[in-house]
């Protein structure tokens, strides 16, 4: 029998993102790995309530989710090391504003601009429930069918227990290919 290690936050790895929001005329950036998908039209961004970026998000009800790959992992990592309350992080990344007015990191392979539709409060955390307004992707990461190719985009993953970044990129099998084999009695 498996060892019971108690109540553990063990749903890892998760993708690492840099959340962007406008602080007046300037952007601010925060590294966030506690992100998730709700249904097919909402995403969740879980932030500790005291973080600097939270009030900027609430002010505009908008944020950007910048997927991190290894090309800008060092700067992304830095955005998770210091609070905007202590240091101006606005110059950390080259950026442009998207159609919804959120800051889009130039080096990020993919960015979603989001509108906040709800906030789910838990002790010391604010989880922003967002709808996706726009998705910007470097065209090299689109396949010939116009779909995002995560095999080449290679989002960096995070895991809390050992506090490390992990590499992605290999395809194991097409989804449901095993199911087809099992139905045919081949597995």
Q: Can residue 95 be called a binding residue for ligand FMN (CB under 6 A)?
A: no
Instruction: Give the residue from 54, 5, 2 showing the smallest Cα distance to 28.
Output: 54
Residue 89 CB, shortest distance to ligand FMN, in Å, is 6
Interface residue with ligand FMN among 20, 22, 43, 51 (CB under 6 A) is 51
Residue 11 touches ligand FMN, criterion: CB under 6 A: no
Binding residues among 143-162 for ligand FMN as defined by CB under 6 A: 158
- CA-wise closest residue to 18 among 171, 160, 180, 156: 156
Residue pair 18/32 in contact (Cβ under 8 Å)? The answer is: yes
Burial tier of 13 (Cβ tally within 10 Å: 0-12, 13-18, 19+) = middle
Q: Note whether 60 binds ligand FMN by CB under 6 A.
A: no
Report whether 121 contacts 38 (CB < 8 A).
Answer: no
> Is residue 179 at the binding interface for ligand FMN, with CB under 6 A as the rule?
no
Q: Of the ranges 49-57, 60-68, 91-99, 176-184, which one interacts with ligand FMN (CB under 6 A)?
A: 49-57
**130 interacts with ligand FMN by CB under 6 A:** no
Contact indicator for 34, 177 with CB cutoff of 8 Å? no
Q: Is 72 in the site for ligand FMN (CB under 6 A)?
A: no
Please work out, in degrees rounded to the nearest 5, the angle formed at the alpha carbon of residue 25 by the alpha carbons of 135 and 16: 40
**Which one among 11, 85, 117, 182 touches ligand FMN, defined by CB under 6 A?**
85
Contact between 66 and ligand FMN per CB under 6 A: no
Provide, rounded to whole angstroms, the least separation between the CB of residue 145 and ligand FMN: 32
User: Which residue, 83 or 134, has its beta carbon nearer to ligand FMN?
Assistant: 83
- 182 touches ligand FMN (CB under 6 A): no
CA dihedral 120, 125, 128, 129 (to 10 degrees): -40
Whole-number Cα distances in Å, 90 to 21, 24, 147, 181: 10, 11, 32, 52
Interface residues with ligand FMN (CB under 6 A)? 28, 30-34, 46-48, 51-53, 80-85, 158
């Amino acid at each position: 029998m498996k060892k019971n290690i108690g109540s553990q936050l063990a749903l890892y790895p998760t993708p690492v993102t840099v959340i962007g929001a406008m602080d007046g005329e300037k952007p601010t950036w925060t590294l966030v790995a506690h992100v998730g998908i709700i249904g097919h039209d909402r995403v969740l961004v879980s932030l500790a309530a005291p973080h600097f970026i939270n009030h900027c998000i609430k002010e505009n009800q908008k944020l950007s989710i910048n997927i991190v790959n290894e090309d800008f992992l060092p700067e992304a990592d830095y955005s998770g090391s210091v609070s905007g309350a202590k240091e101006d992080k606005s110059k950390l990344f080259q950026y442009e504003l998207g159609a919804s007015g959120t800051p889009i990191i130039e080096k990020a392979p993919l960015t979603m601009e989001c509108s906040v539709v709800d906030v789910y409060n838990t002790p010391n955390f604010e989880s922003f429930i967002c709808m996706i307004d726009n998705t910007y992707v470097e065209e090299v990461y689109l396949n010939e069918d116009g779909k995002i190719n995560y095999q080449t985009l290679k989002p960096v993953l995070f895991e809390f227990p050992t506090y490390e970044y992990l590499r992605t990129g290999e395809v194991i099998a097409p989804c449901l290919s095993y199911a087809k084999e099992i139905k045919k009695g081949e597995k």
